[in-house]
Amino acid sequence: MVLYGLLGFLSISLVVPGLVELFKPQPGSPGMVLASLDAKNQFRALQGMMVGLGILALWACLDLEHAHMLVLTLGVVLSVPVVARLYSLVVDGMPGFMTLVYLAVEGVMAVVFLIWPPPQ
């Protein structure tokens, strides 16, 4: 039940905002300035990748009995942003509260997916 909840949450939290940002006329948020066309293209591609990861999480949720390797892979993929966020804490300083929440949620999901995937 925990895996279903986390995979469902991951899917929704990646697909919905990813699609919204992907198709916005001006991508980004008020604190993020995407001045060049290359930056906008990179940002939209990143949003597309997030949507793809959300679809994979949904796929794992829908076929959890056969998703051992997919859940492990999602755990590995989630571990990379956790390391990147921790590195940013050291190099760039303390971010805002919501960024720390993202770090905690991504960290918990990565650990759960890595140590508790569905049985093979």
Domain boundaries, the chain: 2-115
Q: Residue 113 — very low, low, confident or very high, per pLDDT cuts 50/70/90?
A: very high
Question: Which pTM does this prediction carry?
Answer: 0.89
Closest CA to 50 of 78, 85, 87, 25: 78
Q: What is the pLDDT of residues 92-109, one digit of tens each?
A: 999 999 999 999 999 999
Task: Report pLDDT for 30.
Answer: 74
Residue 88 makes CB contacts below 8 A (sequence gap 6+) with 95
Q: What is the rounded CA–CA span in Å between residue 54 and residue 104?
A: 18
Task: Report pLDDT for 97.
Answer: 95
Q: What is the pLDDT of residues 40-80, one digit of tens each?
A: 899 999 999 999 999 999 999 999 999 999 999 999 999 99
Residue 19 makes CB contacts below 8 A (sequence gap 6+) with 47, 51
